[in-house]
Amino acid sequence: MFEKFTISANVNKDIESCFQMYHAPAHIKNWNFASDDWECPKASSEFKVSGRFNYYMQAKDQSVGFDFTGTFDIIETPTMISYHLDDNREVEIHFKEQGKQTYITVLIDAEKENSVALQKRGWQSILNNYKKYVESI
């Protein structure tokens, strides 16, 4: 059993745009990293239930990188995406329309190697990058 944690952001963009930019590889490459010295140069996704995804994240100096891979379990356009990672951790993303904004909540199973606090900071940084990117378009 994994310990769970939650992150969230209020994005100044409509729910349909937020949903699309969260799962489309062309957009993911622009926001899926936790700090400015990292990048996501490759992203692929078969966005359907039981479809696979692979987002490659690496340090910009290419000293280290890793594949972030999993399978989509539930897709409810435009309100929810649920997937599990290859290590069986589950992630749920909820999109809630609030006027001209979208409130996004992400529920994540923590891995066991790093502290929950460290993981929460990293995932929140990625979500903050997503917010910044989406609001810039």
How many other CB atoms are there within 10 angstroms of residue 126's CB atom? 19
- What is residue 8's predicted lDDT score, i.e. its pLDDT? 98
Domain that holds residue 90: 4-136
CATH number of the domain to which 57 belongs: 3.30.530.20
Residue linked to tokens 């936790």: 34
Read off the pTM. Answer: 0.94
Give mean pLDDT in consecutive 10-residue pieces for the chain, a chain of 137 residues.
Answer: 94 98 98 96 98 98 97 98 97 96 98 95 97 97
User: Hey, which residues does 129 pair with through a beta bridge?
Assistant: none
- What is residue 1's predicted lDDT score, i.e. its pLDDT? 76
Q: Which two tokens stand for residue 10?
A: 């209020």
CB 7 within 8 A of CB 106: yes
Number of domains in the chain: 1
User: Hey, which residues does 84 pair with through a beta bridge?
Assistant: 71, 90
Q: Which helix (H) or strand (E) holds 13?
A: none
- What is residue 43's predicted lDDT score, i.e. its pLDDT? 98
Give the ranges where 2-115 is alpha helix by DSSP (H): 15-23, 25-28
CB 122 within 8 A of CB 128: no
From edge to edge, which strands make up the β-sheet containing 52-59?
4-11, 101-109, 90-98, 80-85, 65-76, 52-59, 38-45
Size (the chain), residues: 137
CB 6 within 8 A of CB 105: yes
